[in-house]
Amino acid sequence: MSSGSSQQAIGEFIRYLRVERGLSSNTVEAYQRDLAQLAALAQELGKEILTLDRAELVAVLGRLREGGRSDASISRFISAVRGFFRFAAAEGFTKKDPTAYLESRKAWQTLPRFLNQVEIERLLAQPDLASDAGMRDRAMLELLYSSGLRVSELVSLRMVDLDWEKGTLSCFGKGSKERCVPLGRSALDYLKAYMPCRQRLLRDRHTDLVFVERGGRRVSRQKFWRLTREYGERAGVGHVTPHTLRHSFATVLLEHGADLRSVQLMLGHADVSTTQIYTHVTNDSIRQSYRKFHPRS
């Protein structure tokens, strides 16, 4: 099979995701990166993607794990590869689907890491509030923990998305679905305190973005990931990402009695089964509390 057939199949699959499935640009780009990596690994085996068999795909997954890829990242990789081969088989690019009996996504999935309240407070205390950028970072961290937004939603937030009177924000998540999320008092207070800093950072430039760099440039996803990691290291709470705060948001709500459906809506999950992973975290906490405090445990 020629490399042209594989590349054509990949190209048509990406168009299918973008046009027919209507997936977000970030998701499509992630699938493209995963398939490009699969193509490179297949080439190392002297093969084209469409000629890979199940054993070779398992070997590729092993390589990814050895290379330090997280379970969540590998799960997404499997989803991309599965989707691609199903599409390729349906469109006649290949007669076999080597992912048909590949291990399920749950086999690679681990419980999400979250921070307890003490760790959260230490993390939030790291930005320098004497600087405009520091106040911006504190507002971003507070907002992320208060709302459970995805980092892409956070950096894309516009002024018109904030309802100061109701204490809510609106955002467009995956699949361009809009949702309304309530904000905590602390997040609102820091957002208000950040507004004069935002004006100074804009330097007479005009943008509707809430969070900006000097000169009105957008705070990139990569920049905020780096900042969050650095603040986590300074706080002594280990490796922290924006997703850690999203996980912490969901976990603390469920631990304090929020129903799963409400958390699903606030997180913007299309399927409640995605949200259910957090019930395992809270069940673990319940079991630990029982063992620690019950006299007959």
Catalytic machinery residues: 150, 174, 243, 246, 269, 278
- 216, 207 in Cβ contact below 8 A? yes
Rounded Cα distance, 13 and 114, in Å: 35
- 176, 22 in Cβ contact below 8 A? yes
Question: What's at 77, amino acid-wise?
Answer: F
Rounded Cα distance, 268 and 177, in Å: 8
Which residue, chain included where needed, has tokens 């986590």?
Answer: 232
- For residue 143, the SS3 value is helix
Tell me how crowded residue 283 is: count the other CB atoms within 10 A of its CB. 11
**Edge to edge, what strands does the sheet with 162-163 contain?**
162-163, 168-172, 178-182
Q: Quick one: tokens of 285?
A: 């906490």
Query: Between 71-90 and 25-44, two packed helices, what is the crossing angle to 10 degrees?
Result: 80
Question: What's at 199, amino acid-wise?
Answer: Q
Q: Quick one: tokens of 34?
A: 């995963």
